[in-house]
Structures are given as C-alpha cells and as structure tokens.
Structure 1
Amino acid sequence: MVARVTVTEEALRLIETLVDIHGPLMFHQSGGCCDGSSPMCYPHGEFRTGESDVLLGEIGDTPFYMSKDQYEYWKHTQLIIDAIDGRGGMFSLEGPEGKRFITRSRVFTEEEKRELANS
C-alpha cells in the first residue's frame, strides 16, 4: 500500500526524542501549500481534530492530520516529513530541540494513484 505520508530517519529520531519527553504525539499540517511548509507537532489530543480534518497516516506511530481543504491541494502528492536544524513553529514541540519538522513532497506515479483510488 502506498503511504500518503512518510518520514525520514532524521525526523523519526526527532519524533522518538519528543515521545521520550512528552509522551504520545500527533501532527497537523496547518497552512502551507508547498514544499518547505512546517507541520505542527503536539502532545496527542492537544490539537482538536474534527470532521474538517483528514488522517493521512502515521509516522513513527504518530498520527498525521491535515485539513480537508488543504488536502485537496496535496492529494496528488506523498508528503515526506523531514527534520532540519532551525526553529519550529511557536507551538510545535520540537522548537526547544533546535530542530524543525519540514514537509517535502513528491507527485504520486500513475500506478500509485490507481492503487490509492482502489483502496
């Protein structure tokens, strides 16, 4: 099965560090419509999701959500969550670690699009 969201090793290490500090986490891709956007990382349940959000999958056993409206812009791409040096969003948990999560993407192949349509 093709994943709508994946994670790099660097981001996975950062997620593991944050889980050790904060316990279970969740992500929400809030804002941004292109590569370089920053997903927000919260303690699990701190950000309230609802019918206007889509669960894209899990990265490092952590759910990853996006608003339905934003999903319409991104649905043809696989999101690749990475971590780089720098400051994250003001309310995102990774800020004090001197790292920030960043969203990269790639367009699904035609075969992947068919697989996703049939799932």
Structure 2
Amino acid sequence: MTKRRYSRVPAWLDFLQSASGLLLGLFIVGHILFEASILFGPDAMEKMTLFFEGYYLFGQRHPGIVSALAAFVFALFIPHAFLAIRKSPPPGAATALSEIICGASGMKTPASGWSR
C-alpha cells in the first residue's frame, strides 16, 4: 500500500494569508492608537508626526518614511486579498447554499426572487 502525498502548497498559502492578515491587523491597531494621540492635544499629535518622520532619529524630517510605510501596507494588502479570494466559493455556490438552507424552511431568498 502506497502512502498518498498531499501538496503542501495550500498550507503555505494559508500560512501566508494568516501572516499577512496578522501584520495588517497590527497595523490597524497601531494606526488607531497613534491617531488617538490627538486626544492629548495638537502638540502630542505633532510629536507623533515628528517621531514617524524620523525627526528624533535623524535630526530632520523625512516624510518619505511614512510614504514607504504606506506603500508597504498597500503592497501587503494586494497579495493578502488574492490569497483570500482563492478561498471564495465559485459563482452560484452561495445561491445554491442559500437555497439549501432557506429553501427547507420556506424562507425567502434572492434566488427565489423573494417570492416565497
């Protein structure tokens, strides 16, 4: 009896989707917390801006740092979206599923034209 070998590609794609989702989630949490610095006044917000532009590290502002971070987040979002789309059901599957779930109970569905 031969052992069947399964491809590891789906597992790696799931891992990459999870890792990119974690990074995007951490970005969102950080963004919300850093934007909340406005609650401490305009000076706190300005100091946050100076920090992210590298003023305290380089002695002058470098707004390109923020632009590079934005480009990185966008570049991370694109593959994350494609990795998530590969798991979406084929066209018509959601309608068939709603018919199975809702059809047995007599509920109205978009596929039935909301006519039941």
* Fold shared per TM-score above 0.5: no
Structure with greater contact order relative to length (CA < 8 Å, sep ≥ 6): 1
Normalization by structure 2: what TM-score?
A: 0.21
Relative to total residues, which structure has the larger helix share, 1 or 2? 2
